[in-house]
Amino acid sequence: MSVSSLFELRGKVALVTGGAQGIGGAAAEILAEAGANILLLGRQIDTLQQQAERLAKFGVATHCIRCDVGNAHQVRDAAEQAIAAFGHVDILVNNAGIIRRAPAAEYLLEDWQAVLDTNLTGAFLLTQLIGKTMVERGGGKIINIASLLSFSGGMNVVAYTASKSALAGITRSFANEWGKHGVNVNAIAPGYIRTQATAALQNDPQRYQALLSRIPAGRWGEPGDLQGPILFLASAASNYVNGHILTVDGGWMAA
């Protein structure tokens, strides 16, 4: 197989949750550039449509689906719409997530539930609904966006840590069951990336500098730093990679 064909996605269909901006936006862009038709799923239809317009330059088809991933009923409806739009889904990127910060001793139950519903239950349900169609078709790629907090505890983010730790676990569990059906289930654990989700850390000079000082690469990451790893896990280049959590962290975990 040639280098170009390893990463060729023309004719494939990719569904990206939270695909309008940040890591999800970068994922949608690289998958479209590689030739995949794109399903954009998110809460704000106008921002999804703006992203679809940006992706038009790649000559692929796009379809926008309004969905709050934390709402199980909406996730079920979105999965049906996704399959109906193109007939099938080859690649699923579970990127949508939220974070709510508070000391663990003061963490509100409603915040705990909201984070778990979006980051974990939503990803589980969409993987189950879309993934079973991949099993039936004999192949597919599922990429979960985990976190460095899949491995460590963090501070003031107990629900986020719980959700991302569990997301790494279900990545392995689905991979164990579906690998024999040609469905690869992997995750990417980003380090500290400049997105809206990390705005609070970026705007705290002391915390920002403390984090930066531990990153061997000497800089925070950008959403574009995830594009290569996402394309790898979405393409034939990763056909024998399954159940893996790939850190993309500037060397944080090695420090």
Give the catalytic positions in this structure.
160
Using CA atoms, how far residue 101 sits from 22, 34, 83, 138, 139, in Å, is: 19, 37, 35, 41, 38
Q: Which residue has the tokens 């996402």?
A: 230
Residue type, 119: N
Q: What is the DSSP string of 174-206?
A: HHHHHGGGTEEEEEEEE-SB-SGGGHHHHT-HH
Pairing of strands 140-145, 91-94: parallel
The token pair that represents 185 in the structure block = 């289930």
CA distance 249 to 252: 5
| Residue 231, number of CB atoms within 10 A of its CB | 20
CA distance 100 to 160: 7
Alpha-helical runs (H) found in the chain: 3-6, 22-33, 45-55, 72-86, 109-116, 122-137, 158-178, 199-202, 205-212, 227-234
